[in-house]
Amino acid sequence: MLCKAANRVINRNEPTFLEETCSRILSFCNSNSLKQGISVHSPVIKLGLHHHLYLNNNLLSLYAKCFGVNKARHFFDEMPHKDVVSWTGILSAYVKNGNHDTALRVFDSMLISGESPNEFTLSSVLRSCSSMGEFDYGTCIQGYVIKEGFDQNPVIISGLIDFYSKSGLVTEASNLFITKGNHDTVTWTMMISSCVLAQRWVQALQLYVDMVKAGVAPNEFTFVKLLGACSVHGLNYGKLVHAHILLKGVKLNVVLKTALVNMYSRFRNMEDAIKVSNSTPEYDIMLWTALISGFAQNSMFRKAASAFRAMGVSGIIPNNYMFSSILNISSLMLSLALGQQVHSRVVVTGLEGDVSVGNALINMYLKCSDNVEDALRVFRGISLPNVISWTSLIAGFAEHGLQLDIFHLFMEMREAGVEPNSFTVSSIIRSFGAAKLLPQTLMLHGHVVKTSLYEDIAVQNALVDFYAESGMLNDAWQIVDMMNRRDAITYTTLASRMNQMGHHELALHIITDMKNDDIKIDEFSTASFLSASADLGTIMTGKQLHCHSVKSGLCKWFSVLNGLVNLYGKCGCIHDAQRAFGEIGMPDNFSWNGLISGLTSNGYIPSALSTFDDMKLSGVKPDAITFLSILSACSIGKLTDLGLEHFQSMRVIYNIEPQLDHYVHLVDILGQGGRLEEAMEVIQTMPFTANTSIYKTLLRACKAHRNIPLAEHTAKQGLELDPSDPAFYILLTNLYQDAGRHDLAERTLTVMKEKQLRKNTSHSRTEIRDKVHVFVAGERSHPRTNEIYEQIEFFEAEFKKHGYLFQGIGHSYYHSEKLAVVFGLLNTPSKATIYVIKNSSICRDCHDFMKFVTQLIDREIIVREGNRLHSFRKGECSCRG
DNA sequence: TTAGGGTTAG
């Protein structure tokens, strides 16, 4: 329609009318439709109207927008007449292009030419000042503004707010805003933008409320900034802003759509992100990039790939941003093939030298390829590697275990004049920590303390992690106390390191620290806390975490769901474990391992084995951990041949090299099956040095099969490794008693006592009614319960000495019809507790048993019978109601 | 002719 209008005008052939109207049409096109502007510009050029100043100014703007700043500059230089609008037009084109140096030179030329700047010129110049760090120049401009009486002008105020906030002086920007009145939409938006930049999220949203109250209409620019402020306020704020956009009738242009897509993908709501992008047909490369990286952030790699194809079909050529995104997806998918494919397209497009694409390539090769040379080749191809290039290389080298090269890279980087930032330093600290390079890290810490990097939370978190990992918890806490801001990473780091050290109670205490610091418990910290609860057996805390996860929507995370499977599996609530597993859409190997291990440790051997088959059928490859559970299941189920078959399959079918723990299980399987000589042969021929655990396993088997000579030999070998381990004496004693050799049993116990060896009071724990109970009995099957099992052996010996028939104590009796008791020592010194788990009432046997146990451990024991508690002390029982 | 969106390193 515009073309038709232009042609109608052209046909009238009235020069003045023609010039003004064409100028207006171009102006309209500049603001509304660049495409139509392009189609109008050729007839205008043909008419030879370009001596007309206004028309040329409009054309200049059109060229800058459509053909780039260089074409625009050429046109500008050819213009026969120039006014302030022409100068400002080319100046702002340079500013928008990020070419601030040239912009300031154009400003100088303009002043020399005698042309006076207007508010728009000054506003653009201010932008260049803040971008180039020319603070003094900017304040000179402000002086000029005051002198010329521009200081009430909203365009100038907007420019100054922008200048101050980008110079890091948001309070000055805010004062400027408050002292001047009569703000227009741009000024309000600028102030909101300043707050977002300074991360004053609440103030940004408050400004929007004030703006609406003041009767100033927000536009698409305002909403783009507001969406940025939603990043910390959560999805609901984002939705509220979206609702306001619709309510105010603001047009969803492609920029606003991009901001909305970003907001929704940040909150993992890709459904709405897609809905927004499809709500209008307008798409550009930035919207595609936002959408595709949104898919990547949410691990929707197939969708990302099909979006990339759809973009290609629509005729949009990928640029450096897009290639970086796609390469990032290849890294996340660990797909070297995809990465290489993209690399070849990068070469074809001529973007190989682009530093951001190069960085993404370095990262991709370091993540996907075993050969660091691939990444190095790309690195050498970048003419000016930036801090990201160096950091990617350093972090990747760390992943490849090349810690010693990292130091050289770090020095080389500094020689090249590239300053390390918080990413670089934190990567190095983490890699040094992993490689246990204590002196090097202490040196780096000493260096960092003197720089501003020490204020950075990522660097601080890396140091916290380093000290915690090195077991220096006090040093770690010292840094935590010194930090002026802590985040979820700080605490998750601490919790997981404490879990690794076995300090699970300390790990759980971090929940309180996070609450005190007002930090949200996220999916990562929840996983750590669930793991602590599982290992402590604190089912109530675990259930509270479960409730919290449901309420706060964390239950869609693998880490949380897998943590729940593990928790319930370890706490004996196998049905809850199965329910949690059922909620995982696509279980990964952690999910399967958690379920299989839960089933195994609770004695559901056939279910564990069939679950293993399901795992394989689902296409998830079993790993070393899976086989630990499966081998354990076979030994508990006395499935010797099947166990051997599975052990063989590890190497032959799954290419998994069995580790020492697997050999321990193999010895157990053979031992349980009575094939003691073969078990001994395994210990002698396996590619690992034997540990005490494997000898104890064999000794236990010898005891079960009453093979005294082999047992004595095994105990001897075990005691050579650790002469202070009482387990060998206790196991031997029990074997001698079983075999009726009470003389030998007595003698063994005497030797043990002479050596002043005492049974370790090793514990397992569980939580009943808000209290953690320390158990000294547990099931045999779990790898961690070896010590607990030894404890049982001790009690077994004691029980037998007093004529009790020992039936076993622990979790493994949950589902049996036998007397099911778990007995534990409360973690206060004066009390112990026994719980009747399965039986609904306490039978006489149980009473007697309790009385005996109290004599043995000389503590008060409480037994729960339904809701009634019985207290046993010194062999007496009293009901506690 | 002033303000807005996308990538890559922990």
The string of DSSP letters for A181-248 reads ----HHHHHHHHHHHHHTT-HHHHHHHHHHHHHTTPPP-HHHHHHHHHHTTTT-HHHHHHHHHHHHHT
Task: Report how far residue A727's alpha carbon sits from residue A577's, in angstroms, rounded to the nearest whole number.
Answer: 33
Estimate the crossing angle of helix A488-501 against helix A504-516, to 10 degrees.
Answer: 170
Domain holding A805, by residue range, is: 764-879
Q: What's residue A813's pLDDT?
A: 28
Q: What is the CA radius of gyration of chain A?
A: 37
Q: Protein A347 CA to nucleic acid B8 C1', in Å?
A: 17
Count of other CB atoms within 10 angstroms of residue A50: 16
Nucleotide nearest to A153 (CA to C1'): B2
A95, A107 Cβ separation under 8 angstroms: no
Instruction: Please classify residue A575 by burial: count the beta carbons closer than 10 Å to its beta carbon, then call 0-12 exposed, 13-18 middle and 19+ buried.
Output: exposed
Count of other CB atoms within 10 angstroms of residue A447: 13
Residue A868 pLDDT more than 60?
no
CA angle A581, A271, A305 (to 5 degrees): 85
Residue A15's SS3 state is helix
- Cα A812 to its chain centre, rounded Å, is 36
pTM: 0.71
- Cα A805 to its chain centre, rounded Å, is 52
**Strand A876-879's sheet: what is its strand order?**
A764-768, A771-775, A821-826, A831-836, A860-865, A868-873, A876-879
- The answer to whether residue A385 sits within a structural domain is no
Measuring CA to CA, which residue among A708, A616, A718, A707 is closest to residue A664?
A718
A326, A320 Cβ separation under 8 angstroms: no
Q: What's residue A208's pLDDT?
A: 94
Three-state SS sequence of A745-799: HHHHHHHHHHCCCCCCCCCEEEEECCEEEEECCCCCCCHHHHHHHHHHHHHHHHH
Q: What's residue A840's pLDDT?
A: 36
pLDDT (average), residues A95-101? 89
Q: Protein A262 CA to nucleic acid B8 C1', in Å?
A: 17
Nucleotide nearest to A425 (CA to C1'): B10
Task: Report how far residue A846's alpha carbon sits from residue A258's, in angstroms, rounded to the nearest whole number.
Answer: 69
One-letter amino acid at A595 equals L
Count of other CB atoms within 10 angstroms of residue A241: 24
Count of other CB atoms within 10 angstroms of residue A841: 9
Count of other CB atoms within 10 angstroms of residue A605: 19
Q: Tens digits of per-residue pLDDT, A751-807?
A: 988 887 765 544 444 444 443 444 443 333 333 334 444 555 565 566 556 554 443
pLDDT (average), residues A313-320? 94
A804, A812 Cβ separation under 8 angstroms: no
Residue A866 pLDDT more than 60?
no
Both A866 and A776 in one domain: the answer is: yes
A505, A479 Cβ separation under 8 angstroms: no
Q: What's residue A782's pLDDT?
A: 34
A623, A593 Cβ separation under 8 angstroms: yes
Place of tokens 């003389």: A743
Q: What's residue A395's pLDDT?
A: 92
Both A772 and A705 in one domain: the answer is: no
One-letter amino acid at A218 equals P
Q: Protein A571 CA to nucleic acid B6 C1', in Å?
A: 47
- The answer to whether residue A126 sits within a structural domain is no
Buried b (16+ CB within 10 A) or exposed e, A366-402: bbbbeebebbbebbeebeebeebbbbbbbbbbbeeeb
Residue A39 pLDDT more than 90?
no
Q: What's residue A863's pLDDT?
A: 54
Q: Is A361's CB less than 7 Å from nucleic acid strand B?
A: no
pLDDT (average), residues A815-822? 31
Residue A509 pLDDT more than 80?
yes
pLDDT band at A206 (very low <50, low <70, confident <90, very high): very high
Q: Is A253's CB less than 7 Å from nucleic acid strand B?
A: yes
Measuring CA to CA, which residue among A493, A506, A448, A495 is closest to residue A466?
A493
Nucleotide nearest to A357 (CA to C1'): B8
Domain boundary among A658, A691, A706: A658
Residue A826's SS3 state is strand
Q: Within 193-252 of chain A, which residues have Cβ less than 7 Å from strand B?
A: 193, 219-222, 224-225, 228
Backbone angles phi, psi at A313, to 5 degrees: -60, -40
CA angle A173, A177, A182 (to 5 degrees): 155
Q: What are residue A862's DSSP bridge partners? A: A833, A871
Q: Protein A385 CA to nucleic acid B3 C1', in Å?
A: 32
Q: Is A759's CB less than 7 Å from nucleic acid strand B?
A: no
Q: Protein A627 CA to nucleic acid B9 C1', in Å?
A: 36
Residue A371's SS3 state is coil
- The answer to whether residue A776 sits within a structural domain is yes
pLDDT band at A393 (very low <50, low <70, confident <90, very high): very high
Domain boundary among A724, A758, A792: A758
Q: Protein A123 CA to nucleic acid B1 C1', in Å?
A: 10
Question: Which residues, 6+ apart, have CB-to-CB distance to A772 below 8 Å?
Answer: A505, A536, A537, A538, A765, A766, A827
Both A678 and A647 in one domain: the answer is: no
A285, A322 Cβ separation under 8 angstroms: yes
pLDDT band at A222 (very low <50, low <70, confident <90, very high): very high
Place of tokens 């990444």: A375
Q: What's residue A761's pLDDT?
A: 42
- The answer to whether residue A652 sits within a structural domain is yes
A160, A141 Cβ separation under 8 angstroms: no
| Biggest CA-to-CA distance, chain A | 128
Query: Which tokens hold the place of A643?
Result: 């166990």
- The answer to whether residue A641 sits within a structural domain is yes
Measured between its terminal Cα atoms, the distance across chain A in Å is: 91
Measuring CA to CA, which residue among A552, A555, A488 is closest to residue A524?
A488
Backbone angles phi, psi at A827, to 5 degrees: -80, 10
Strands A831-836 and A860-865 come out as parallel
- The answer to whether residue A688 sits within a structural domain is yes
Cα-Cα-Cα-Cα torsion A364, A369, A370, A372, nearest 10 degrees, comes to -50
Both A770 and A704 in one domain: the answer is: no
- For B3, nearest residue by CA–C1' is A186
Nucleotide nearest to A117 (CA to C1'): B1
Both A591 and A643 in one domain: the answer is: yes
pLDDT (average), residues A59-73? 85
Both A616 and A689 in one domain: the answer is: no
Name the helix (H) or strand (E) containing A275.
Answer: helix A270-278
Query: Which tokens hold the place of A62?
Result: 């059109």
Q: Tens digits of per-residue pLDDT, A428-478?
A: 999 888 888 888 888 889 988 998 899 999 999 999 999 999 888 888 999
Q: What's residue A862's pLDDT?
A: 53
DSSP single-letter state for residue A115: P
**Comparing A274-283, A599-608, A797-806, A828-837, which segment has the lowest mean pLDDT?**
A828-837
Q: What's residue A800's pLDDT?
A: 57
pLDDT band at A64 (very low <50, low <70, confident <90, very high): confident
CA angle A272, A186, A276 (to 5 degrees): 10
Measuring CA to CA, which residue among A422, A518, A432, A515 is closest to residue A467?
A432
Residue A175 pLDDT more than 90?
yes
One-letter amino acid at A110 equals M
Instruction: Please classify residue A454 by burial: count the beta carbons closer than 10 Å to its beta carbon, then call 0-12 exposed, 13-18 middle and 19+ buried.
Output: middle
User: How many structural domains compose chain A?
Assistant: 3
How far is residue A579 from each of residues A565, A569, A576, A756, measured CA to CA in Å?
A: 8, 11, 5, 49
**Comparing A232-246, A325-339, A569-583, A800-814, which segment has the lowest mean pLDDT?**
A800-814
- Cα A57 to its chain centre, rounded Å, is 51
- The answer to whether residue A135 sits within a structural domain is no
Q: What's residue A814's pLDDT?
A: 27
Both A710 and A813 in one domain: the answer is: no
Residue A862's SS3 state is strand
Domain boundary among A726, A758, A790: A758
Both A768 and A848 in one domain: the answer is: yes
Q: What's residue A341's pLDDT?
A: 94
Q: Protein A287 CA to nucleic acid B2 C1', in Å?
A: 25
Q: Protein A636 CA to nucleic acid B1 C1', in Å?
A: 82
**Comparing A43-47, A116-120, A546-550, which segment has the lowest mean pLDDT?**
A43-47
Residue A367's SS3 state is helix
The mean predicted confidence, pLDDT, of chain A is 84
Both A786 and A837 in one domain: the answer is: yes
Both A852 and A806 in one domain: the answer is: yes
Q: Within 264-283 of chain A, which residues have Cβ less than 7 Å from strand B?
A: none
Both A618 and A684 in one domain: the answer is: no
pLDDT (average), residues A626-642? 93
Task: Report how far residue A643's alpha carbon sits from residue A612's, in angstroms, rounded to the nearest whole number.
Answer: 13
Both A729 and A771 in one domain: the answer is: no
Instruction: Please classify residue A634 by burial: count the beta carbons closer than 10 Å to its beta carbon, then call 0-12 exposed, 13-18 middle and 19+ buried.
Output: buried
pLDDT band at A879 (very low <50, low <70, confident <90, very high): low
Task: Report how far residue A450's alpha carbon sits from residue A425's, in angstroms, rounded to the nearest whole number.
Answer: 13
Please report, rounded to a whole number, the percentage of residues in chain A having pLDDT higher than 90: 59
How many secondary structure helices (H) and strands (E) does chain A include?
47, 7
Measuring CA to CA, which residue among A120, A62, A65 is closest to residue A87?
A120
Q: Protein A286 CA to nucleic acid B3 C1', in Å?
A: 19
> Please, which positions of strand B sit below 7 A from a protein CB?
1-10
Residue A342 half-sphere exposure, CB side, CA atoms within 13 Å?
Answer: 29
- The answer to whether residue A616 sits within a structural domain is yes
One-letter amino acid at A840 equals S
CATH of the domain at A737: 1.25.40
